[in-house]
Amino acid sequence: MQQPAFDESSYKLFDVSWDAPMDTISGLTEWSRDINSVYAITTVITIFVFFAVAIPLIWTLVKFKSKGDEQTPPKQFHGNTTLEILWTVIPVVLLLFIAVPTWRILFKHAHTPEGAMQVDVIGHQWWWEFRYPQNGNIITANELHLPENTPVVFRVWSADVIHGFWVPKFGGKMDANPTAMEEDGITPKRWSVLNIVTPSVADANKKGGEMYQGQCTQLCGPSHALMRFNTVVHSKDEFESWAKTANTPPAVETTLAKAGEQVFARCQACHAITGTPSEQIPGPKIGPNLTNFGNRKYLGAGTRLNTMENLAAWLRDPASIKQGSLMPNLGLTEEEIQQVSSYVRLSTTKTY
């Protein structure tokens, strides 16, 4: 099969004005502050080691430099028990200073607090699925919505290869490993756990919450770099109303959208929209759930802004935007593209 021409602009960082790109220094959670505290200890120790080695080294080089007039080689010796004990014990002690705080924070965050909200995170080539089993079984993709100041337990696994789930501003990072599934095909046999208490929203009156960029951190195929997502932290009330509307079926109002609903029949083997016949098709879907697609800021897993224009470009040829995309070019006509875009995007835009 011939690879379509790849549009390089997809690799340019998308609009990151809302999150100075993936900065870990100004972490927002206890996890990230704890990680940075261990980094601080490590930095101080490495600076100490640097000077403890460099200063005697430079002193020795200068003091014992050959003057060119020696008649005999310098006195030879080997073995010095005191020195050997010293340069074994000092590194061990320094490493303990790093290891003990590291273990302490690892054990501290391994514990899932009572009443934590559960979110299932599933890595796919090359997009993220998020499920909310305690909030009316919402299933969404590439946009992770969370309430502020809330302990969340992420159960992380993968539908294919190893991916890495990471929101840099939140600290902790977790690999998504492939797992065997239970007989229903959607419940994993194994998963990894990441506990994070979400940060607070700085401005409680701001609509739409605060956004933070996320990124897959394991090389998982040609579009690994384009496997992004954004995390939206809402005030608790706003999260509640997001959760209430997230599962509502599309509101098909225009003739264009009605025609698009027919075209969508060709998409529903891979994509589900709640409250439509696509849900009745058994088995897990291989493409993102599109129930609240209209509200997402990006399409193609953080690749392009979610606009009618970009959606049309995606539908014309997904692989030109995301190399290796598992979504094929469906050969839709321009008219069908307008119709299905209207259905998938405008009918699923909800006010919350």
Residues near ligand CUA (CB under 6 A) are 123, 126, 163, 216, 218-220, 224, 227
Residue number, 163 or 296, with CB nearest to ligand CUA: 163
67 SS3 class:
coil
Residue number, 219 or 281, with CB nearest to ligand CUA: 219
**Residue 228: left if φ>0, alpha if ψ -120 to 50, beta else—which one?**
beta
Pick from 193, 110, 189, 122: which is nearest to 162 by CA?
A: 122
Alpha-carbon distance of 138 to 274, in angstroms, equals 9
The angle subtended at Cα 336 by Cα 335 and Cα 340, nearest 5°, is 125
Residue number, 220 or 319, with CB nearest to ligand CUA: 220
Residue 119 CB, nearest distance to ligand CUA (Å)? 18
117-124 sheet: strands from edge to edge: 138-141, 127-132, 117-124, 151-158, 192-197
Residue 6 CB, nearest distance to ligand CUA (Å)? 17
Q: Can you list the positions of beta strands (E) in 52-162? A: 117-124, 127-132, 138-141, 143-147, 151-158
Residue 53 CB, nearest distance to ligand CUA (Å)? 38
Residue number, 123 or 250, with CB nearest to ligand CUA: 123
Instruction: Tell me the β-bridge partners of 304.
Output: 299
Q: Can you list the positions of beta strands (E) in the chain? A: 117-124, 127-132, 138-141, 143-147, 151-158, 163-166, 173-176, 192-197, 210-216, 228-234, 298-299, 304-305
Residue 127 CB, nearest distance to ligand CUA (Å)? 9
DSSP 181: B
Residue number, 224 or 345, with CB nearest to ligand CUA: 224
Residue 204 CB, nearest distance to ligand CUA (Å)? 34
Residue 341 CB, nearest distance to ligand CUA (Å)? 27
Residue number, 109 or 163, with CB nearest to ligand CUA: 163
Element (H, E) at 8: none
Residue 227 CB, nearest distance to ligand CUA (Å)? 4
For residue 176, give every residue at least 6 positions away whose Cβ sits within 8 Å of its Cβ, in sequence order, or none.
121, 122, 123, 156, 157, 158, 162, 163, 164, 165, 192, 218
The angle subtended at Cα 215 by Cα 43 and Cα 352, nearest 5°, is 120
Question: Two tokens at 334?
Answer: 């321009």
Alpha-carbon distance of 175 to 177, in angstroms, equals 6
Residue 126 CB, nearest distance to ligand CUA (Å)? 6
Residue number, 52 or 219, with CB nearest to ligand CUA: 219
Residue 274 CB, nearest distance to ligand CUA (Å)? 26
Residue number, 227 or 273, with CB nearest to ligand CUA: 227
Residue number, 176 or 332, with CB nearest to ligand CUA: 176
